[in-house]
Amino acid sequence: MAGLPAADLPKPSLLLPLAVAVCTGIATAALILFTIGDRMVAIGFLAAALLAAGIMIGAARLFRSPLHVERYTDWAIAHALASASDDALAVTDRSGRLVCANPRYEALFGGWPTPPSLPIGEAGAQALGACARAAWRDGEARCGDVHIFGAKVAVRVARVGDDSLVWRFIGVNALDLAVQIQGLIAGPTGDRLGGAGVMVVLVAPDGRIRSANRVFKQRALGDADGGAEGLDFARLLSTDARGQIWFEREGREATPLRLLQIPFLDGEDAPLLVALLDEEPLAMSLGGSSSTDVRSLIALLPTGLALVDRDGRFVTMNEAFMRSARVQGATPPLYPGDLVIREDKAALADAVRRFAGGAPKSLEITVRLKDTAEDPVAITIAGARGLGDAAVLLSLRDMGEEGKLKRQVAQATKMQAVGQLAGGVAHDFNNILTAIIGHCDLMLMRHSPGDSDYDDIQQIRANSNRAASLTRQLLAFSRQQTLRPQVLQLPDIISEVSNLLKRLLGETVTLDVKHGRNLGPVRADPGQLEQVVVNLAVNARDSMLSRNPSGGGSLTIETLAVSAADVRRMDDDVLPVGDYTALRISDTGTGIPPEILSKIWEPFFTTKEVGKGTGLGLSTVYGIIKQSGGYIFAENRPSGGAQFTIYLPVHAAPEAAVAKLPVVKEKPADLWGSGTILVVEDEDMVRAIAERALSRQGYTVVTAENGEVALETIESMEKPDLLLSDVVMPVMDGPSMARKVRERWPDLPILFMSGYAEEQLRRSIDLENVAFLPKPFSVQQLAEAVRDIVASE
């Protein structure tokens, strides 16, 4: 999906006149100099004119072409929609600006107007505005009452994330495809069909004629050059009780007619192509058979169509049908049942048999093709008597890309739902773990290593930390973990983690590290990036050892610079154009089976034995990379083994701002302090732990179970030294309560604690002099956080 020109760039319509004016002026000066004799200078001026013309015309073309905007969000589903659909698509942001649009949108509206302010009339714009408001509120909205250039178009508006709307104008393909069919009917193709006795009419959804060939107008109106456009098609025909049809003008003494409806466009509001034939051949036919010419018409249509005879064998099929049904030209099928899986053969054969025997109207059934059984397709079946050998017309729409799009949308929806569930579970679990770890710490203060209970308490604490690690993985998958991003160089991260990798890989697996040149800095959490590298390396080790337990294999880690030009050449629908620093990790293992390649990012999906993996490793990697603004792709190498490529956007920062490896400063061992701390926490167990832990360190602790109680408490107490509060609480949340407290004590330091990520809460806790402590935390971590704040005041 293409982006849009920046608003401050010159308008394309002004560049070409400007180019002509500049070049004309320079050329005129050159001619004057040539006349007065200074030929060398004149030649220089002419060269300048040519150069200026090239630059200006090139700029005009550049500005006329869609450009990618600098601000790019994760438009994975939008890109898939643009590539898979013939509909006009556009994306707007929260402020109502047009972010990107596909070429069909540009062609439909003559540029890039911003919805809902489109050139479709005031009523249409109001309908689109109501649709947008409903989509922001409900996530999706539909509007089927919009008319664009005389055609009724369905509009779907879907919210993507919290910041964007995707506008989809469905049925706009009818606006140009119907015009093409209309031209074919009115031109030589219509005359050729008419010469064979085939009358062809394009009927609008309201039943009025949009186009008709000359033979139809001669038979229906008595004038081959008459104007049939706009007439009611049904009024030109008459029928009897047996269902036989005649032209109203010719009367029932004439030869009955046979109507063949060809559904070349989808949708109830799409124009309908109707072919009329005499039940008996006309004497006016100029040669050839009706069947032959109908086959020619079918071959011209872009919709997948095929003719089947009375015995159920294929008579002909056009290229669109062969492409949609995955038909190999060298070995075409004999029967429609040869296209579908065994379970659907009987249903399709029975439907074809009924319509070959003269069943009325038409039928649409859903079947599964042999080559793409996971994507059901719809086949429309209609009777086609009067076409020689043909008895049944089959219509099949290519749903390969649409099926792929549906799977992508379903996968994205599932991942989003599981992510929200994981984030909520992790938050609640963090409160429980905070209490468990805190009580263990308090008990360890009363037991020495020689006590009988000491080892049991340590075991409980160790298992609690393992559970805390699991919640961090859940938060990483749901992109709700707390990150500490820094501007850094990827080779520094690889160098830091290399020693650990050598120990993890063992002696049988060799590690090969390669660094590219001109690597740009990236902005990410160094600790989380190390976790990504370690996780992928351990998976690669297991894959290589399963393939060759004794010989191991080779793990290669590469860093390389990827320019915007390289991304354009890749022509990837997901990766936006820009400069990246890439990290590529490849192995010589068994690779990833194709049937599970699309599932590896799902949480709890694992191919390891029961008890040997949580299934959160790759989903954690995916969450970390996406939360860092990057992209990750998995594929199998042609030579064997798997390859993971991570693209992190180059951060536009001066070299001096690029951080080296973080330096861990030693903290004072003394955690004792003094002062009054107001603790506000709705979870009783967490509040109790905080109160006992801080009281042991010498602080005076006052507690409140929610924000309203805290506000009542401060009315009867002196100014505390610190406000320690949970963020998400019932009745009144932490930030709202903190703002009320700050009205009384503007300089009061605040320490927020939460099981949610700091980034997720940043908007609500955007206050001055505020610190953050993620749950679960130990007694020592709580004491250190409080000591650092109180001691600095």
Q: Which architecture, in CATH terms, is 403-472?
A: Orthogonal Bundle (1.10)
pLDDT at 283: 35
Residues 6+ away with beta carbon under 8 Å from 242: none
End-to-end CA distance of the chain: 53
Q: What are phi and psi of 395, to 5 degrees?
A: -125, 125
Q: How far apart are CA 415 and CA 602, in angstroms?
A: 7
Mean pLDDT over residues 156-165, rounded?
A: 84
- Identify the residue whose tokens are 């079918």: 298
Bridge partners for 362 per DSSP:
382
616 pLDDT band (50/70/90 cuts)? low
Q: How far is CA 749 from CA 153, 690, 694, 725, 791, in A?
A: 57, 17, 16, 11, 11
Q: What is the dihedral of CA 266, 272, 273, 274, to 10 degrees?
A: 130
- CATH superfamily, with its number, for domain 172-300: PAS domain (3.30.450.20)
65 pLDDT band (50/70/90 cuts)? very low
- pLDDT per residue over 601-610, tens digit each? 776 666 655 5
**CATH number, domain 486-657, options 1.20.1090.10, 3.30.565.10, 1.10.10.60, 2.60.120.10:** 3.30.565.10
* Among 775, 726, 741, 736, CA closest to 755: 775
Q: How far apart are CA 693 and CA 710, in angstroms?
A: 20
**Run of H or E including 23:** helix 12-36
**Helix intervals (H) in 65-117:** 76-84, 103-109
Is pLDDT at 724 greater than 90 in this prediction? yes
CB 517 within 8 A of CB 478: no
161 pLDDT band (50/70/90 cuts)? confident
Percent with pLDDT over 70 in the chain: 69
pLDDT at 679: 94
pLDDT at 270: 66
Mean pLDDT over residues 2-6, rounded?
A: 43
- pLDDT per residue over 301-350, tens digit each? 777 888 888 888 888 888 888 887 878 766 778 888 888 888 888 888 88
Residues 6+ away with beta carbon under 8 Å from 14: none
What is the CB neighbour count within 10 angstroms for residue 261? 17
- For 246-260, 388-402, 528-542, 711-725, which range has the lowest pLDDT when averaged over its residues? 388-402
- In sequence order, what DSSP letters do the residues of 284-347 get, joined into one string? T--SS-HHHHHHHHHHH-SSEEEEEETTS-EEEE-HHHHHHTT--TTS--SSGGGGB-HHHHHH
Q: How far apart are CA 646 and CA 355, in angstroms?
A: 55
Q: Where is pLDDT greater, at 626 or 40?
A: 626
Q: How far apart are CA 564 and CA 520, in angstroms?
A: 13
- State which fold the 89-171 domain adopts: Beta-Lactamase (3.30.450)
Q: Which architecture, in CATH terms, is 676-792?
A: 3-Layer(aba) Sandwich (3.40)
Q: Where is pLDDT greater, at 238 or 360?
A: 238
- For 45-49, 416-420, 561-565, 605-609, which range has the lowest pLDDT when averaged over its residues? 45-49
- State which fold the 303-398 domain adopts: Beta-Lactamase (3.30.450)
Mean pLDDT over residues 540-556, rounded?
A: 79
Name the strands in the sheet holding 272-278, side by side, starting at the edge strand that comes first in the sequence: 209-212, 199-203, 272-278, 257-262, 245-247, 237-239
Q: How far apart are CA 724 and CA 771, in angstroms?
A: 10
- For 24-33, 251-260, 414-423, 615-624, which range has the lowest pLDDT when averaged over its residues? 24-33
pLDDT at 490: 92
557 pLDDT band (50/70/90 cuts)? very high
Ranges 113-127, 354-368, 700-714, 759-773, most confident: 700-714
Q: How far apart are CA 115 and CA 92, in angstroms?
A: 8
At 633, the amino acid letter reads: F
Strand 304-309 vs strand 390-396: parallel, antiparallel, or unpaired?
Answer: antiparallel
722 pLDDT band (50/70/90 cuts)? very high
- pLDDT per residue over 464-490, tens digit each? 887 777 666 666 555 555 556 788 899
514 pLDDT band (50/70/90 cuts)? very high
Q: How far apart are CA 608 and CA 535, in angstroms?
A: 14
Is pLDDT at 776 greater than 80 in this prediction? yes
pLDDT at 110: 65
Q: Where is pLDDT greater, at 765 or 578?
A: 578
Q: How far is CA 107 from CA 62, 77, 87, 316, in A?
A: 17, 22, 11, 35
pLDDT at 263: 67
Q: How far apart are CA 162 and CA 139, in angstroms?
A: 9
Is pLDDT at 591 greater than 70 in this prediction? yes
Is pLDDT at 7 greater than 50 in this prediction? no
- pLDDT per residue over 182-240, tens digit each? 778 888 888 888 877 788 898 887 788 888 898 898 888 888 888 888 888 888 888 87
Ranges 14-28, 181-195, 358-372, 741-755, most confident: 741-755
Q: How far apart are CA 396 and CA 348, in angstroms?
A: 13
- For 122-136, 166-180, 530-544, which range has the lowest pLDDT when averaged over its residues? 166-180
- pLDDT per residue over 236-291, tens digit each? 888 876 677 888 888 877 778 878 777 666 555 567 888 888 875 433 333 344 55
